[in-house]
Amino acid sequence: MAEYVKLEELPKLLNVPPRTGHFSEVVTDTLYEKGLAINFGVNEQVCGAKRISMGRTVIPPHTANERHVHLNAEAAMYIVKGTMVLMIGPEAKITRCPEGTFVFAPEGVIHGVANASRTEEVILVFAYGGVPSKEAARIVFINDDRSVYPPRGWDEE
């Protein structure tokens, strides 16, 4: 059941005063996941977030990032434009995710993302739950010389 409170009583319930981020304050990161353009719009640095990080990723045509895990955060994605190729698990199982798809990767699950198109970019919105920053999500990239990554067939349109 929903809880209601009088407007003047709301400040008594808040642990952190609200603050908003603005477009001019978005943090762009092109080194975090090589090959991708990632904009963090909600995190500790931009707006003082304590338990969520959120942003937008652009995957250029015919690009795959390095597979990785988030040790301290769940990751959720929503595909806004294009078809993202999700490669999940140790075997990098390929799943094609068209516009309008929600994707969830629990913490500790190996995953990578790619764009098989030779001409169009993929745009997605992502969130890391329970953490205020990418550093707190604790991303670890997989170094596995025995496996072919990205796997054969990832870039078939």
Could you report the per-residue pLDDT of 2-31, keeping only the tens digit for each? Answer: 888 888 887 777 766 556 655 566 777 777
Six-digit token string for 6: 């009088």
φ, ψ of residue 125 in degrees (nearest 5):
-110, 135
φ, ψ of residue 47 in degrees (nearest 5):
-135, 10
DSSP class of residue 5? -
> How many CB atoms are located within 10 Å of the residue 112 CB?
22
pTM: 0.85
CB 88 within 8 A of CB 105: yes
149 residue type, one letter: Y
- Model confidence over 31-82: pLDDT tens digits? 778 889 899 989 998 888 899 999 999 999 999 999 999 999 999 999 999 9
CB 77 within 8 A of CB 102: yes
pLDDT at 4: 83
CB 41 within 8 A of CB 21: yes
Task: Name residue, tokens 């629990």.
Answer: 106
How confident is residue 85, by pLDDT bands cut at 50, 70 and 90? Answer: very high
62 residue type, one letter: H
DSSP class of residue 135? H
